[in-house]
Structure 1
């Protein structure tokens, strides 16, 4: 049994990106008790709906003239989940992210085993905007982001 992803409060500063100036979080629960943060992150990143992949392609094309990084394919860092490098691992979380000239971005997947043999999975996004381009970029993508993250959480867990 699963629940649908819902918005969840997040407090700044966040340890994954202490100087972040923007953050949000979505959570879902599942009866899958054997899940680890890495498995959850892989499952979420592999559950990107087709419409999200198309939006990312449009984003990459639109941002190319500004010199912003597209998805990652870094031969020097093979530790990547989806399109993001792994930055840190802990017992209950994994942190993915990128630093770019317009903003720094972290995606933290946390798990928590809760009552009733259930597991809560939380996806926290933290961002540090560096300049006006970062502010404009985040303002533009936020409405999409708030649809994409819950859609990926829901798709990862069969909802």
Structure 2
């Protein structure tokens, strides 16, 4: 069914993308025959997401600043530039990998576009490796929000294509 976002088993090589990741999840949305590459899909999710996600991100940035955590794509320049606050680390038309390493945790998001001409889908995989107690606490606090945000952002891929 086109437009329905569902959680799926992750189909990525976690060891290559983020060795030691303790959290991995994946969500998939069917996009029918919509011609979209991985960068477009990521851009639709990140830059055209629901307004409440932007508000939640701003609140997160305010709350983590006193702890010295990154609030945007701070640090080394990204080979593929930024999409929103996500530094693009590698990219092909079918796969985009973004993310960064911080003192509390390291994360990657992987956007895959696959399927054939009649039924295509986009999969968003998130990988997180915590580095200390702050990272483990942060991950525990944001996991319920992450799942809601990921589903909502993925729904934007199909909405923007209509």
Does TM-score exceed 0.5, indicating one fold? Answer: yes
Render the CA deviation track for 1:40-80: whole Å, top value 9, x for unaligned. Answer: 11111122211111111111111111100002267944711
Superposed counterparts of 1:1-159, under 5 Å? 2-10=2-10, 14=14, 15-72=16-73, 76-77=77-78, 79-114=81-116, 117-158=118-159
C-alpha distance after superposition, 1:108-146 (max 9, x if no partner): 0001124x6121100000001001000000000000001
Higher fraction of helix: 2
Deviations 1:1-52 (A, max 9, x none): 7231111112675132122111111000112442111111111112221111
* CA displacement, residues 86-125 of structure 1 (integer Å, 9 cap, x when unaligned): 01113421001011000001000001124x6121100000
- Preserved CA contact (<8 Å) 1:86 1:94: yes
Structure 1 portions without partners, runs of 5+: none
Greater shift, 39-48 or 103-112, is seen at: 39-48
1:13–1:19 contact (8 Å) kept in structure 2: no
- Give the superposed CA RMSD: 2.2
Q: 1:12 to 1:134 in 2, by over 3 A?
A: farther
Number of aligned residue pairs: give it. 158
Structure 1 segments (4+ residues) deviating >6 Å: none
TM superposition score normalised by structure 1: 0.90
CA distance in 1, matches of 2:39, 2:30: 16
